[in-house]
Structure 1
Amino acid sequence: MRNASVRRANFRNGFNLHSSVFRNGRLIGNPAARAQIAAAAALAGWHGASSGWWQHTGGGYGWVGPLFWPFAYNDLYDYTIWGDGLGFWGYGYPDIYAGLFGPYGYDGLSTYLAPRQQGRRQARGVALDQLCGSDRREIVGLPIDQIAAAVQPTEAQGASLDELGNASMDAAGMIRASCPTQVAATAPGRLAAMQLRIEAMEKAVDLVQPALDKFYGPLADEQKARFNALAEDQRRVTASGKAGTSLVQGCGAPAALDWPSADLEARLHPNDTQRAALQVLQDTSAKVSASLKAACQPGDVMTPPARMAAVRKRLDVMLDGVKSVRAALEDFYNTLNDEQKAQFEAIGPRRTS
């Protein structure tokens, strides 16, 4: 299920609400396929070249219209259980940058609004609820059956495993509830949505982590070895021996995301007060970029509980970075008049790949 083949016709239509790939969960279980589905959805509302400038190293996108972090829960448990962290560790400062200078104009964002009636037919854009995570167990829950098959738990261990499964479903619901229902058309609104999304992910981890520790701790050494081997088996199947290097590269900010100083000066014509606030925003962004890059050390974490702890730590750094940039952004944004705000929002959509 995790290694279902990726066919071009499938991922082109992957964000269709009625697509069979969503109903059976085959492609969503494959991180590479999820990246392609997210890419198709992200570009559906972007009027640019064949690939967007905010694309992740692994081919996915951190922003799909108004949604930050599509398939968030799948990325969390893929790294925790399978050790496949390209989806999770691909997130970093470039996503904050894309929140500041959003790539979508308002017409593009309308693609992601809720379905609306047009005569007798219903017009449908990209189905954000699918990218946020379905409520079906086989798509969003931890792979409890596969864990049980590997570990062969005792009756008491089986009860703890059931608790872990229930916690994973509740956690998925928390993340699903953070899916945006309205479009944020301004930079402060995007960073606010980004913050809410990461906070929901942290709450989800805080719910699952104790249940995972409770199940894993009492296991015999041989059972732990079999549980840990799930990730090793997955690495052999996908032949991802260079995954560690890819993860670190995914956390770094590409050179293409230089601060658009010339555009800001030419479009905004800031006064001295605005220029000073803009400099604070730029300096804060640079510090956050450096801190996120320095904290990108996934390494060879060998156990599911240790990987989940690494997830929580990374989310902490991400959240601190978003809060810092958001505060500096709001201080600057509040100095702008309406025309300057419109010019600021036009920078991202007009950027080329």
Structure 2
Amino acid sequence: MASRQISTALRQPGGLRNPMTRAAITTAAAGAAMGGVGWWRHPNGGYGWVGPIFWPYAYYDLYDYAWWGGGYDPYFWDYGYGDLYAGLFGPYDYDALSGYAYYLPGYAGPRPPATGRSRATAQTTTLADMCGSDRSDIAGFPIEQFRSAIQPNAEQSTALDDLASASQKASATILNSCPKDVPLTAPSRLAAMQQRLQAMRDAVGILQPALERFYGLLSDDQKAKVTALVADQHRGQHEATADNGNCNMAQPTTIAWPGDIIERNVKPTDAQRASLDALRDAATKAEDTLKSSCPPTDARTPPARLAAVGARLDSMLQAIGTVRPAVDTFYSALSDEQKAAFDAVGPERDGGRSAMAAAGGDEPPRSRHRRHHHHGPNVGGMIFRMIGL
């Protein structure tokens, strides 16, 4: 989607409800600090990591799949092992990440001047928007569409209002999982990823009883109207891909273990190599866990699809729970120089540029990081220029 189309879509009410628009924005934001397409890109074109944020627009993806199915929004099932891998071997170096820090909702330091349109407009299209929302006009969708379609009786209307309240609470739960600072290491990235996924799982737990109660009160005729509403939504989303096609797709370069780079740059000792082997085994086990949790083909109602969302998030949390102790053990056994080299594995994969090479010579990246704290590029300005705001 071209920048002019993105800009036009964002000026429309509810523009971010279009999954293709959201994917285009995350692509622009993810590549702003890197100067191009990264190896951690999803098969459908979006990104699971945008700077320090894992799963941008998570609340939209969760709701879209539950309400409309993967034929409308194919992005929920793109998330999987490739994102865990990108958490282990973060694609951004320190300077790139520090540029994103200004646009996190919890960041309290000075902000660079807005670029293009007014500061107020620019700040409404930042990383904070990717974290979530507690606004009822966003979090409550598509409640009013359902109300209009089914013409609920008094009991059903009350249940629908309760579902709207649960939806807003669930969305606020996801919003609160946004990182308050930038995770710079593999342990901190996986911790942030786990926090985000747990918030999404908690959101499902908030939504599920309210959705099941509402849907259970509907007559067969009203359920048929819900099905027709879903079909209408699919017809209006011509660019979406096939339903549920991508849950285990991953680019080969994404999932290949970077053993040669680790050996060459980190130079683990024999004792460290044992814990490195344990980490690789844990990553393989996590990948197998996620391969076994594709969506059911018979999830044809919103409650069934929401249950599938919960099951997938459980699998992702299980996968991270397998990897996190192993990465913590390995990382804690490294020297500062080895940690800096391990942190540079991901950036080195992206165009062959390591953090040490970027530093200019043999100075350890970690000491350079201290000297240049909070002086990264104006990523926000680049994002706004790329999407035409």
Instruction: Report the TM-score, using the length of structure 2 for normalisation.
Output: 0.81
Q: Write the deviation string for residues 167-194 of structure 1: whole angstroms up to 9, x where unpaired.
A: 1001110000111110010000000000
Give the AA of the match of 1:273.
Answer: A
- Give how far 1:135 is off: 3.4
Q: Are 2:122 and 1:133 equivalent residues in the alignment?
A: no
Match in the other structure for 1:59: 45
Partner SS, residue 252 of structure 2: coil
Distance verdict in 2 for CA 1:144–1:297, change over 3 Å: closer
Distance verdict in 2 for CA 1:118–1:277, change over 3 Å: closer
Give the AA of the match of 1:333.
Answer: Y
Match in the other structure for 1:75: 61
Question: Quick check: 2:102–2:110 contact (8 Å CA) kept in 1?
Answer: no
Q: Are 2:42 and 1:42 equivalent residues in the alignment?
A: no
- Give how far 1:213 is off: 0.5
Match in the other structure for 1:348: 346
Structure 1 Cα separation of the partners of residues 216 and 184 of structure 2 = 46
Question: Quick check: 2:293–2:315 contact (8 Å CA) kept in 1?
Answer: yes
Once the two structures are overlaid, the 10-residue window that deviates more, 259-268 or 234-243, is 234-243
Match in the other structure for 2:3: 8
Structure 1 Cα separation of the partners of residues 13 and 248 of structure 2 = 28
Give the AA of the match of 2:246.
Answer: Q
Structure 1 Cα separation of the partners of residues 315 and 221 of structure 2 = 34
Once the two structures are overlaid, the 10-residue window that deviates more, 174-183 or 37-46, is 37-46
Give the AA of the match of 1:69.
Answer: W
Question: Quick check: 2:68–2:230 contact (8 Å CA) kept in 1?
Answer: yes
Q: Write the deviation string for residues 192-242 of structure 1: whole angstroms up to 9, x where unpaired.
A: 000000000011110011000010001101111111232222223334796
Question: Quick check: 1:205–1:312 contact (8 Å CA) kept in 2?
Answer: yes
Question: Quick check: 2:272–2:334 contact (8 Å CA) kept in 1?
Answer: yes
Match in the other structure for 1:251: 248
Match in the other structure for 2:147: 148
- Give how far 1:8 is off: 1.9
Identity %: 47
Question: Quick check: 1:252–1:293 contact (8 Å CA) kept in 2?
Answer: no
Once the two structures are overlaid, the 10-residue window that deviates more, 290-299 or 123-132, is 123-132
5+ residue gaps, structure 1: 1-5, 15-19
- Give how far 1:82 is off: 1.1
Give the AA of the match of 1:137.
Answer: S
Match in the other structure for 1:261: 259
Structure 1 Cα separation of the partners of residues 195 and 221 of structure 2 = 40
Structure 1 Cα separation of the partners of residues 239 and 297 of structure 2 = 14
* Number of positions where the alignment pairs a residue of Structure 1 with one of Structure 2: 336
Q: Are 2:90 and 1:102 equivalent residues in the alignment?
A: yes
Q: Are 2:17 and 1:29 equivalent residues in the alignment?
A: yes
Question: Quick check: 1:179–1:197 contact (8 Å CA) kept in 2?
Answer: yes
Structure 1 Cα separation of the partners of residues 211 and 224 of structure 2 = 15
Question: Quick check: 1:298–1:310 contact (8 Å CA) kept in 2?
Answer: yes
Greater RCO between the two (CA within 8 Å, min separation 6)?
A: 2
Question: Quick check: 1:103–1:349 contact (8 Å CA) kept in 2?
Answer: yes
Instruction: Report the TM-score, using the length of structure 1 for normalisation.
Output: 0.89
- Give how far 1:335 is off: 1.1
Match in the other structure for 1:193: 192
Question: Quick check: 2:51–2:97 contact (8 Å CA) kept in 1?
Answer: yes
- Give how far 1:319 is off: 0.4
Give the AA of the match of 2:18.
Answer: N
Structure 2 Cα separation of the partners of residues 10 and 181 of structure 1 = 31
Alignment of 1:271-350 (within 5 A): 271-350=269-348
Question: Quick check: 2:272–2:333 contact (8 Å CA) kept in 1?
Answer: yes
Partner SS, residue 348 of structure 1: helix
Give the AA of the match of 2:65.
Answer: Y
Picking from 72, 87, 101, the partner of 1:113 is 101
Match in the other structure for 1:92: 80
Question: Quick check: 1:58–1:250 contact (8 Å CA) kept in 2?
Answer: no
- Give how far 1:118 is off: 6.9
Once the two structures are overlaid, the 10-residue window that deviates more, 309-318 or 281-290, is 281-290
